[in-house]
Amino acid sequence: MSTTTEPVSFTPASKGYVNPDVLVTTDWVAQHLNDPKVRILESDEDVLLYDLGHIPGAQKIDWHTDLNDSLVRDYVSKEQFQTLLRRLGIDESTTVVFYGDKSNWWATYAFWVFQLFGFTNTKVVDGGRAKWEAEGRPFSTEVPKYPATQYVAKERDDAKIRAFKEETLKHSQAKKPLIDVRSPDEFSGKKTHMPEYPQEGVLRGGHVPGAKSVPWARAANPDGTFKTADELRAIYEGEAGLKKGDDVIAYCRIGERSSHTWFVLTYLLGYDKVRNYDGSWTEWGNSVRVPVEK
């Protein structure tokens, strides 16, 4: 047996997820490297990492320039998203597979933005870049080119999976479930930035009143794969008190880490109503007269 073959017990289908098909294994990726109906997209916190080597045939998603508007703090428009997907050789018939660094934290962020535009033929590589590398699989520095498509994007729909400040405030006042996925020191207000990261100018530290602290990385194993459904339920339901029928808002600093938790709750545990507050603490902690707890 090849040393790169993933044990059956660790495949997504074996881990009890409500939607196991949203994840693929590194073996699946290796078998589909030349599949014309598959586009593999790497989305990293470190946007230069792709250039050092990537899964052969993968293309780069730069979260700064590809997903965010350059002027307004918002995501790209329908027209910008359409141009991006046409350039990447993607249309409605394409299966898009995301992976990246940091236990897929930025891969799930890109996945979430794609859902804003109703592009649902999407999957995530369980374990991401770290697992591919740990298994000794090949990397390439060649940047692939695919034929442009005539993809027509849908209008962006923020209502179902995105929350804004005023909605989050009403959620807090109604004592509905809020999950703060930042580090414990950020939650307590001891720090206003991620551990080992520079201070970023937020004027107040703390958390949204009523929020529960569940750091995003608790959902991942050391190898970057997602924990089993039972393990995830023990964290989010056993510890944080969530129930599957809850209306949940998750947040972090700019909505990137909370997209990972949104993915876990929505797809792996099958929650019907989870929204990502992407304004997160950089908006809340700088806003006038919003309540803060420490």
- Residue 223's CATH number: 3.40.250.10
Do the Cβ atoms of 82 and 152 come closer than 8 Å? yes
pLDDT category, 200, cuts 50, 70, 90? low
- The total domain count for the chain is 2
Which residue, among 84, 100, 95, has the nearest Cα to 42 in the 3D structure? 100
> Does residue 215 sit in the same domain as residue 116?
no
Q: CA-to-CA distance for 196 and 207, rounded, in angstroms?
A: 19
> Does residue 14 sit in the same domain as residue 120?
yes
Q: Which residues contact 145 (CB under 8 A, 6 or more apart)?
A: none
User: Is 2 contained in some domain?
Assistant: no
Catalytic-labelled residue, pool 23, 125, 252, 268? 252
Parent domain of 179: 162-284
> Does residue 12 sit in the same domain as residue 127?
yes
User: Is 1 contained in some domain?
Assistant: no
For the cut 60, the answer to whether the pLDDT of residue 129 exceeds it is: yes
> Does residue 33 sit in the same domain as residue 102?
yes
> Does residue 130 sit in the same domain as residue 166?
no
For the cut 90, the answer to whether the pLDDT of residue 87 exceeds it is: yes
> Does residue 60 sit in the same domain as residue 105?
yes
Query: 168 by DSSP, 3-state: which?
Result: helix
pTM of the predicted structure, to 2 decimals: 0.94
Encoded tokens for 104: 């897929």
> Is position 188 annotated as part of the catalytic site?
no
* pLDDT mean over 59-80: 95
User: Is 152 contained in some domain?
Assistant: no
* pLDDT mean over 119-143: 98
User: Is 145 contained in some domain?
Assistant: no
User: Is 60 contained in some domain?
Assistant: yes
Do the Cβ atoms of 161 and 115 come closer than 8 Å? yes
